[in-house]
Each structure stands twice: as structure tokens, then as C-alpha cells.
């Protein structure tokens, strides 16, 4: 991999890599099977750190990141990167690795939940919910005064995750997290939390059931629309998310 850097303060200007042996969609048969270069310019997800993490993931390496939030941030970008280039094998590698990281590097169930949602992998999400301990959001270390701590626990005085509230309850999520989660998963979590409350198994089971219901509903809706207009492909409900029947969860 070669990386072009414009200045020490920016790693987003462009990045190039030899990609013949990596699972990109972009014309892997081009140029007679010879090596070729891809040049990246997207400042949000095509940083050199993201491409490096892509290569490490291809090699099955465990992430060497300092904090769990860093794992979440870097892998969120990597997921977007893989989706952009249809690198489905790498997305499957990440999904499979999350189970291992839960045990090997003690990756938190909440972080696994978020990554599972971004991966559009309900099976991973259900795993995270079944292992959802600790159950509550912890206080930010920057909160010093009692007044600050009280505001962080009050649902109408903070936009952050509500301290001491269950993280499996979507009403406790920060506005940033709400915006991250695909709407189908948000809907399923609202219903699952209503169903299961503090029982992690019931929340996970409820999540699986509502995802199945949505998958079946979408399939039926699409069939009806397709029958009515045979030459027009029906647009699924919640088009940002692909539903599965989840028979393997």
C-alpha cells in the first residue's frame, strides 16, 4: 500500500493501495489481472488509518486500539468504507470477529450492539443484547460537580446517554447514538425494550421476533406491489435497511 499525504496534520487527502488480492467490487478483473491502484479522496472514511485497518482485518488481526470508543469509531468508518466498495467478505470478517473480541479484548456488549446494527447483522445484535452487562450507562469522567452529575441523569437536561439508565432502553440513548442506529433497528429496540424491560433474554428474544415480523411484512408488501406493477421494483419499507427472516438467530 502506498499512501500520499499532503501534510502531517491531514491523513485524508488521498490514499492509494494495491488491491488485486483484496475483496473490492471495483473491476477486479480489469487490466488483465495485473496489480492496479485505487486512489481514495473521501475525507470521512478513506483515511490511511481506515485503509490500514481494512488490511489488518483481511489478515484476521485483532484491533490494537487504545479504548473501546476508539474501536467503535474506527470500525464504524471501516464498515462504511466496506459498504462503499461492496467488500462483503470483510464485513463478514468483522461480524465473525465481534464474538471473539467480546471474550479476547473484553469489547463491551453495547459497542458490539452498535457495530451489529451498522453491519445490518441482527444475529450479532441479539448476541449483544443477551450479554448486555453492565446494564447501565456510566458517568463521564469529566462530570465533576454534583449539579453536572444530576443533569446527566435527567432525561430532559442532557442530550448524552442518560447516566445510570439501561443502555438497552432507546429512550436513554444520546442524540448521536439515535442518529447512528438504522431506523429498523431502532424500531425493533423500542418494541423489544417494551417487551423485555430489565430481562436481557426477553429483550433479545423480543428483538428477534420483531425483526422477523418486519421481514415478513416487508416481503409481503413487496410481493403485493410487484404483482400490481410487474415492471417496477417495489421499494421496501425502511429502505436503508435490509430485513432478514432471521431463522438462524
pLDDT tens digits along 38-83:
667 667 777 888 889 999 998 888 878 778 889 999 999 999 999 9
Separation CA 17–CA 134 (nearest Å): 41
CA atoms 43, 48, 49, 54: torsion sign: positive
pLDDT of residue 17: 43
pLDDT number for residue 225: 56
Pick from 40-49, 108-117, 137-146: least confident: 40-49
CA gap 215, 226 in Å, rounded = 16
pTM over 0.85: no
What local confidence, expressed as pLDDT, does residue 32 receive? 56
Q: Which residue has the higher pLDDT, 215 or 25?
A: 215
- Residue 122 cell numbers, joined: 441482527
Distance CA 245, CA 249 (A): 9
How much is the average pLDDT of 131-151? Answer: 84
- 53 vs 62: CA distance, rounded Å: 10
Q: Quick one: average pLDDT of 196-210?
A: 95
Q: Which residues contact 246 (CB under 8 A, 6 or more apart)?
A: 122, 123, 208, 211, 212, 215
Amino acid at each position: 500500500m502506498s499512501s500520499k499525504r499532503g501534510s502531517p496534520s491531514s491523513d485524508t487527502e488521498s490514499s492509494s493501495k494495491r488491491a488485486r488480492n483484496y475483496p473490492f467490487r471495483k473491476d477486479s478483473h480489469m487490466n488483465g489481472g495485473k496489480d492496479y491502484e485505487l486512489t481514495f479522496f473521501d475525507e470521512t472514511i478513506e483515511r490511511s488509518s481506515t485503509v490500514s485497518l481494512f488490511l489488518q482485518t483481511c489478515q484476521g488481526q485483532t484491533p490494537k486500539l487504545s479504548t473501546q470508543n476508539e474501536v467503535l469509531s474506527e470500525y464504524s468508518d471501516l464498515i462504511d468504507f466496506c459498504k462503499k466498495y461492496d467488500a462483503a467478505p470483510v464485513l463478514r470478517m468483522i461480524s465473525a470477529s465481534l464474538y471473539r473480541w467480546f471474550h479476547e479484548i473484553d469489547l463491551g456488549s453495547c459497542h458490539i450492539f452498535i457495530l451489529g446494527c451498522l453491519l445490518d447483522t441482527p444475529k450479532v445484535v441479539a448476541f449483544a443484547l443477551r450479554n448486555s452487562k453492565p446494564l447501565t450507562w456510566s458517568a463521564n469522567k469529566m462530570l465533576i460537580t454534583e449539579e453536572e452529575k444530576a443533569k446527566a441523569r435527567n432525561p430532559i437536561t442532557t442530550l448524552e446517554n442518560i447516566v445510570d439508565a439501561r443502555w438497552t432502553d432507546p429512550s436513554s440513548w444520546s442524540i448521536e447514538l439515535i442518529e447512528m442506529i438504522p431506523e429498523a433497528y431502532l424500531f425493533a429496540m423500542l418494541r423489544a425494550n417494551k417487551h423485555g424491560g430489565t430481562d436481557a433474554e426477553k429483550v433479545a428474544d423480543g428483538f428477534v421476533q420483531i425483526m422477523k415480523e418486519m421481514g415478513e411484512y416487508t416481503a409481503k408488501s413487496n410481493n403485493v406491489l410487484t404483482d400490481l406493477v410487474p415492471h417496477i421494483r417495489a421499494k421496501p419499507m425502511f429502505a436503508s435497511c435490509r430485513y432478514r427472516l432471521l431463522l438462524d438467530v
